[in-house]
């Protein structure tokens, strides 16, 4: 009977209730109709069986390889609802039915009915299900972002601005980030300006940098009256007749004053003012209230007359040249007035630092009292400027990017305190923003000598008094030298240290104190490092023989060498 149940087609599982599969509770009718169904199905071709089960898979339904143990031959397929974990009631019932079937294989129909009833799986109780209002969107719902109103956003923004602004004000007031460093403004009693002091942090680094000074207008108002405009003139008539041989007193004895071509003495004095021609414009400043003016020597160098225009006076003053120095390019003038003149104090150029602000006042191209501002770009600059009298060799100059042009020469270079730290002297014509000034450290050493028209002593210039030249291959061959080295002596000045040490022409200096030098310039530079009075030993070659000469370093400016 069990084998016949397994051969039923799939149509039998879906037979309607009127064919005998009505109520699940009437188990008698189910058993009575099982045999006709089996006979009827035996006449039909075998059809595949499909079992539909919605629930956990029951592995014990086919244990032992007996397909009749399932007991589903006379039953309709049932929908099995998932049970919570731990509910094994249906599984136990089926296991019990399988055991009873194996023991009572040969029993009568009554036992089969009981076995069939016990084998039928107990249907689980169906739980009620109430759909939610949002069931159409699926079991998983995405939480929609909460919208924030504009009022809340604007209120948060204002609160943030208030908090950040309060913190910034408090930090600036208490110097939270600058530690001990701060910019301090110190207004001078004369109103010249302010000083910027930059403190340092605990680790030694610079804490803050001074901003551009905001007292330039006040500084210019205070310093400008002490700055003067200098105009130089030359007597064209005098210069044109300076080469006239007939104006010489010796020839006047023979030809007299009335001879054609000679200049009348009285006429020269009368026409001197009318023949004056302006030759240059420069700048200067009062450093003494009695009328002493400091400027550059090249401003008034070859002039016959010097006029000084002072702010607040209607007429220019005629200045007197007291003292000047061509090497230092400095000059002092003197004018006489009926009252004291405004002055500028001389500061210390050694205390100013590279990067500090500086102010230049002058008369570039005749534009009176022009002020320019810049920073100190460098210190200790040496430059050479050729002119009609030779070449000026400047040393220890200050470099600035404050605009300096022709006409600024002799004007003051001021710090933010209104003190003079240099005299504007030169500008590079091949670049922009490169100007030079003579530092006050150089000026103060010679200022009194210039005021009193005294000779300014020149600094010592170490030398030995010999002209040297590099030894070439031809010279070495002529002198019979094994290799090209040293410096050959071309000339020895009379009464010089080299002359007194018996250094001779065509001697070859190969070293000093046992140390050799690559060329003549290196040898000269080593001599200049010595002090006047020091003694050195020259290592020389004379006619192929090595010799040593002791020479005492002399001063070129005071030596009697010719």
Please give the positions annotated as active site.
298, 329, 409
Say if CB 411 and CB 285 are below 8 A apart: yes
CA-CA-CA-CA torsion for 88, 94, 97, 101, nearest 10 degrees? -140
Q: How far apart are CA 428 and CA 295, in angstroms?
A: 19
- Rounded to 10 deg, the angle between the 109-119 and 89-103 helix axes is 160
Q: Distance between CA 487 and CA 471 in Å, rounded?
A: 5
- Of residues 23, 8, 125, the one with CA closest to residue 70: 8
Polymer length of the chain? 562
Distance CA 75, CA 288 (A): 134
Q: How many Å apart are CA 188 and CA 190, to the nearest integer? A: 5
Q: Which long-range CB contacts under 8 A does 426-435 form with residues at least 24 apart?
A: 426/383, 426/385, 426/394, 426/397, 433/374, 433/377, 433/401, 433/403, 434/377, 434/399, 434/401, 435/360, 435/399, 435/400, 435/401, 435/402, 435/403, 435/404, 435/408
Element (H, E) at 476: helix 473-478
Q: Two tokens at 148?
A: 């924030």
By three-state DSSP, how is residue 415 classified?
coil
Q: Locate tokens 């009697």: which residue?
A: 560
What separation in angstroms does the CA of 469 have from each of 4, 127, 464, 480, 544?
A: 135, 121, 14, 17, 18
């Amino acid at each position: 009977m069990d084998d016949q149940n397994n051969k039923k087609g799939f149509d039998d599982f879906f037979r309607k209730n009127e064919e005998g599969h009505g109520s699940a509770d009437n188990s008698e009718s189910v058993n009575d109709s099982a045999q006709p169904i089996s006979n009827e199905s035996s006449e039909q071709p075998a059809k595949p069986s499909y079992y539909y089960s919605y629930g956990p898979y029951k592995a014990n339904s086919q244990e032992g390889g007996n397909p009749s143990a399932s007991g589903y031959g006379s039953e309709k397929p049932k929908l099995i609802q998932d049970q919570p974990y731990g509910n094994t009631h249906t599984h136990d019932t089926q296991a019990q039915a399988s055991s009873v079937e194996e023991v009572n294989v040969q029993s009568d129909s009554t036992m089969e009915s009981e076995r069939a009833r016990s084998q039928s799986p107990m249907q689980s109780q169906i739980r009620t299900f109430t759909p939610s209002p949002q069931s159409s969107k699926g079991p998983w719902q995405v939480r929609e972002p909460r919208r924030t109103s504009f009022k809340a956003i604007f209120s948060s923004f204002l609160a943030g601005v208030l908090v950040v602004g309060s913190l910034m004000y408090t930090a600036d007031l208490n110097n939270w980030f600058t530690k001990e460093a701060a910019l301090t403004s110190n207004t001078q009693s004369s109103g010249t300006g302010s000083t910027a002091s930059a403190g340092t942090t605990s680790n030694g680094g610079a804490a803050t940098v001074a901003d551009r000074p905001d007292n330039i207008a006040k500084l210019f108002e205070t310093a400008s009256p002490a700055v003067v405009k200098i105009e130089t003139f030359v007597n064209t008539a005098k210069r044109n007749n300076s080469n006239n041989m007939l104006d010489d007193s010796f020839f006047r004895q023979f030809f007299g004053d009335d001879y054609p071509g000679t200049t009348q003495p009285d006429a020269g004095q009368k026409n001197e003012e009318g023949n004056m021609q302006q030759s240059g414009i420069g700048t200067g400043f009062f450093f003494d209230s009695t009328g002493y003016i400091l400027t550059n020597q090249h401003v008034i160098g070859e002039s016959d007359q010097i006029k000084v225009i002072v702010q607040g006076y209607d007429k220019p003053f005629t200045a007197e040249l007291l003292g000047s120095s061509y090497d230092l390019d400095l000059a002092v003038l003197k004018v006489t007035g009926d009252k004291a003149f405004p002055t500028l104090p001389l500061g210390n150029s050694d205390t100013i630092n590279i990067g500090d602000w500086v102010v230049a006042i002058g008369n570039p191209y005749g534009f009176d009292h022009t002020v320019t501002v810049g920073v100190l770009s460098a210190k200790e600059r040496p430059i050479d400027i050729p002119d009609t009298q030779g070449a000026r060799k400047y040393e220890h100059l200050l470099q600035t990017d404050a605009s300096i042009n022709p006409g600024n020469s002799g004007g003051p270079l001021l710090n933010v305190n209104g003190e003079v730290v240099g005299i504007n002297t030169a500008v590079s014509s091949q670049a922009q923003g490169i100007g030079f000034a003579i530092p006050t450290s150089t000026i103060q050493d010679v200022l009194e000598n210039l005021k009193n028209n005294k000779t300014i002593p020149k600094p010592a210039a170490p030398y030995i008094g010999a002209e040297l030249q590099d030894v070439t291959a031809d010279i070495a061959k002529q002198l019979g030298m094994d290799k090209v080295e040293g410096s050959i002596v071309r000339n020895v000045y009379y009464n010089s240290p080299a002359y007194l040490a018996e250094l001779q022409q065509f001697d070859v200096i190969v070293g000093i104190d046992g140390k050799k030098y690559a060329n003549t310039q290196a040898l000269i530079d080593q001599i200049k490092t010595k002090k006047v009075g020091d003694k050195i030993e020259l290592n020389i070659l004379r006619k192929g023989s090595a010799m040593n000469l002791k020479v005492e370093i002399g001063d070129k400016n005071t030596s009697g060498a010719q």
